[in-house]
Amino acid sequence: MDARQMKIEAARAALAYVENGMRLGIGTGSTAEEFVRLLAEMVAAGLTIEGVPTSERTAKLCNELGVPLKSLDELPELDLTIDGADEFDGALTLVKGGGGALLREKIVAASSTRMIVIADESKVVETLGAFPLPIEVNPFGLVSTRILIEKVASQLGLSGALNLRRSGDETFVTDGGHFIIDASFGRIPDAEALSIGLNSIPGVVEHGLFINMATLAIIAGPAGARTLRANNT
């Protein structure tokens, strides 16, 4: 089973949690896109759901495939969000934002009764930090914000490159009009402390640490899909 097949397997297993009439948050990224394709097949076969996309990219795919969408203002309370992750640990603390949609992903997840993560087994780690942490920042005062991020990290014993994300020759801009700094800390032993520190910086719009948000992970490997609940492998 190659990497894409594992993503499809995880996405397929997640469909078992989708019920008729659900208000569904729909994630962003390569695994989430496999979920959208399978969801579209079920919608075509008669499943009734209303989806809220976490990015313009996801909205475009849903529209192309016939998955019905609403805005979060129209559906401010959701039953379930299904999304991918860049990495996560046994407590289901996630790092998200590799696709640049972390702000909308977190807003949608926070509006949901449950969040299920779908991923291949390479995304499961003992300690977060191997994947650079995306930090969404306001373009105004960018240099000042970067310095404050360095100070917060240093207070927690963290160091590493803070790279402004690029898209070709241009600075990457999120759907919300912000920039992203990718922080290569290597290890994040205390995600909650880092979250609190980053949230204290005015120029930080949001960060990619999702703490106490996911209720279940569906992880696909060569032997098939398995489920992981917080602190229970």
Catalytic residues: 105
Query: How far, in Å, CA of 213 to CA of 6, rounded?
Result: 23
Ramachandran bin of 130, using left for φ above 0, alpha for ψ from -120 to 50, beta for the remaining angles: alpha
Tokens of 146: 């970067």
Ramachandran bin of 29, using left for φ above 0, alpha for ψ from -120 to 50, beta for the remaining angles: left
**Count, residues in the chain:** 233
- Amino acid letter at 92? L
Query: How far, in Å, CA of 178 to CA of 204, rounded?
Result: 10
Query: How far, in Å, CA of 65 to CA of 56, rounded?
Result: 14
Per-residue CA distances from 46 to 13, 22, 43, 70 (Å): 19, 13, 5, 18
